[in-house]
Chains A and B, each alone.
Chain A
Amino acid sequence: MSARLASRFAALKREGRAGLVAYVMASDPDHETCFEILRGLPSAGADVIELGFPFTDPMADGPSIQKAALRALKAGGSLKQTLDLARRFRETNADTPLILMGYANPIESMGYGAFANAMQASGADGAIVVDLPPEEDAPLRAAFAANGLSIIRLATPTTDERRLTKVLDGASGFLYYVSVAGVTGANAATSAQVRAAVERLKRATALPIAVGFGVREPEAARAIAVNADAVVVGSAIVDEITAGPAPQAVERVLRKVAQLSEAVRSARELEGTPA
């Protein structure tokens, strides 16, 4: 289990607030712009950075992240470039956890052991591999355990109690709750549904619960932040890359992150019910 993730979630708990997990795609729209975004994320209010590595066939992603992956690949993005961006980010920031998110094949291609070693060397803390369910992630688990990295598992609206036991066995860092059955950036669940699901998960695990998929606007993030330990936003952030003139992409992305962060930070003050 990554020490950075553990201490960040412990700090959030002390502060009595939820965290913001901000997703960006590596090399989107190019390596240097992406690096500038990464470097600015902590001061814009990202508590955890989720760095996507591009794949040609992102089967669980909606249009926003599909397009981000295509932009990244066009700019020469790859798993190696992603690890290099993680390393450069880590040189600028020692304590913000950075996790990778993507699909299995680039990792298979690099090799699980080599991937874990490279992650460790670049200062990354864990990974979410969308198409490696617990049944298939044993090689990654072994490689991560040897390097003190977290394997972050997903629970979804289709995860029943029996399945949850399987998902939690070997999970570390935090549990990522996919709030709707669907692809990233699509429909949103109601805040009541999400709250109920988070309560259920908290009864089953001591891991922090981060909620994502379909969270686009500060209001939605605020509602989730009342009882979840963190809120994950991806599509709405990467959409900012192309939402205006290219030279202002960094500024737009960081402004969006700041808005989301403010909403997440103030959620429990407004609600008046610290979780």
Chain B
Amino acid sequence: MDVRRNWQDLPDAEGRFGQYGGRFVAETLMPLVLDLEREYRAAQADPAFAATMADFWTHYVGRPSPLYFAERLTEHHAKEAEAKGLGGAAKIYFKRDELNHTGAHKINNCLGQVLLALRMGKTRIIAETGAGQHGVATATVCARLGLPCVVFMGATDIERQKPNVFRMKLLGADVRPVTSGAATLKDAMNEALRDWVTNVADTFYCIGTAAGPHPYPEMVREFQSVIGREAREQILEREGRLPDAVMACIGGGSNAIGLFHPFIADESVRLIGVEAAGHGIDDRFEHSAAINGGRPGVLHGNRTYLLQNEDGQILEGHSISAGLDYPGVGPEHSYLADIGRAQYLSATDTEALEAFQLCAKLEGILPALEPSHALARVGDVAREIGRDGVLIMNLCGRGDKDVFTVADALGVKL
């Protein structure tokens, strides 16, 4: 397959990235997703829409987020490289999307979608959430723009993520516990789809990752691509060159596709995603590594890599990071993996926890457990690139929300 010919033009008119993506939704929703696509195209072509977004990004979210040279982490990995007789380590830069309002990259997308909803005359926003980050970001934007917000959240996750549940309530959102299935993120998404199919006239479904029926994967990618556009400009200014690699953690993969996409045509730049390997990638399926440990199938409106059994039943998966604990992945990642343009590594719970602590001690930054998975592989990649190289890792969320989980995992009683 000639990957260079049209990779920037994807998805195609049917919402496909190769065999992935598409619009696998109930007929009741088809007119809605087609309408959404038309409205999204109109918004894309409207400079006023872009200007409103930019204004919110600057004054409300705090963009551009800094590009930060992680000097001590780089030194640490360089020393390790020398100890192994390797030629040093590449300079590690963090794209600091954890400094955004609400503490993660999620708000980039929520802002875009909720502004689009307003433009479409929708009067009610629904969202699904796992860890609660997308729920908090959606509730935040809805509060700011004056729209009622309903967040579906698995009952199991509500128990695990109490602080975020309270945050959403403070922001005025109606948090609905989902008890169907295993009561986690995928069930919350099922319930949001059930709500949408019931409230077709007034409701906008704000999906939290670059997945779902077309045009969501493309739309979320475009809203998140501000990460990669800024990073590309910033690194050219700082280093006068493109990076050798850009890295990000992958759950659904919205922060990763946002970082990757503006670099996709720069063939010298390696795109590296890091999936959650949980307790290890094997046939127990106690991981959330859809690309490394799953196979293609159809769920939640798109064809993509999924954790599933031989009958096509979806498996729950596991990750210490609630934000990566999803049995699928955005369809564009499935495509980039198949054509070999991006590479997908993985990190276990234990490796992520170690990386979390290392980053805290060396850089004075508590990373979220999600980017801690990318941090767990950043040393390997930096050493592989070597002394004169440069890499950018997206630090897509801050770790304040995870201190209880980390304490628990380390056997510390708070």
Contact = CB atoms under 8 A, between A and B. Distances in A.
A92 interface: no
Contacts of A183: 194, 197-198
A56 B197 contact: no
B186 A57 contact: yes
A153 B22 CA distance: 18
B7 interface: no
B301 A131 contact: yes
Interface in B293-310: 296-301, 303, 306, 308, 310
B121 interface: no
A158 B32 contact: yes
Nearest to B179: A63
Nearest to A154: B27
Contacts of A153: 27
A70 B301 CA distance: 21
B298 A105 contact: yes
A183 B191 CA distance: 10
Interface in A32-68: 54-60, 62-63, 66
Contacts of A187: 198
A131 B298 contact: yes
Interface string A55-86: 11111101100100010010000111000000
A104 B296 CA distance: 12
Interface string B188-232: 001001100111100000000000000000000000000000000
B297 A109 contact: yes
Nearest to B32: A158
A181 B200 contact: yes
Interface stretch (A159-167, A193-201, A221-229, A262-270): A159-167
A105 B299 contact: yes
Contacts of B14: 135
B144 to A, nearest CB: 30
B31 A109 contact: no
B401 interface: no
Majority SS at the chain B contact face: mixed
Nearest to B26: A60
A110 B312 contact: yes
Nearest to B180: A66
A155 interface: yes
B13 to A, nearest CB: 10
Given A79-B312, A181-B200, A158 B23 contact: no
B159 interface: no
A158 B201 CA distance: 9
A135 B22 contact: yes
A106 B314 CA distance: 9
B25 interface: yes
Interface residues of A, number: 45
A182 interface: yes
Contacts of B181: 56-57, 66, 70
Most chain-B Cβ atoms within 10 A of its Cβ — which of A58, A130, A158?
A158
A147 B214 CA distance: 31
A135 B298 contact: no
A163 B31 contact: yes
Interface in A164-201: 167, 178, 181-183, 186-187
A56 to B, nearest CB: 5
B190 A186 contact: no
B28 interface: yes
B145 to A, nearest CB: 26
Contacts of B314: 56-57, 105
B30 interface: yes
B313 to A, nearest CB: 5
Most chain-B Cβ atoms within 10 A of its Cβ — which of A56, A107, A157, A181?
A56
B298 A108 contact: yes
B152 to A, nearest CB: 12
A148 interface: no
B24 interface: yes
B26 A154 contact: yes
B27 A78 contact: no
Given A153-B27, A157-B28, A160-B31, 20 more contacts: A55-B313, A57-B187, A59-B193, A66-B181, A70-B181, A105-B299, A105-B314, A106-B311, A109-B310, A131-B25, A131-B298, A131-B301, A133-B25, A135-B23, A154-B26, A158-B28, A158-B32, A181-B199, A182-B28, A187-B198
19 contacts: A55-B312, A60-B193, A63-B180, A66-B180, A103-B298, A104-B24, A105-B299, A105-B306, A109-B310, A109-B311, A131-B25, A133-B25, A136-B22, A158-B32, A167-B27, A182-B194, A182-B198, A183-B194, A183-B198
Interface of A: 54-60, 62-63, 66, 70, 73, 78-80, 103-110, 130-133, 135-136, 153-160, 163, 167, 178, 181-183, 186-187
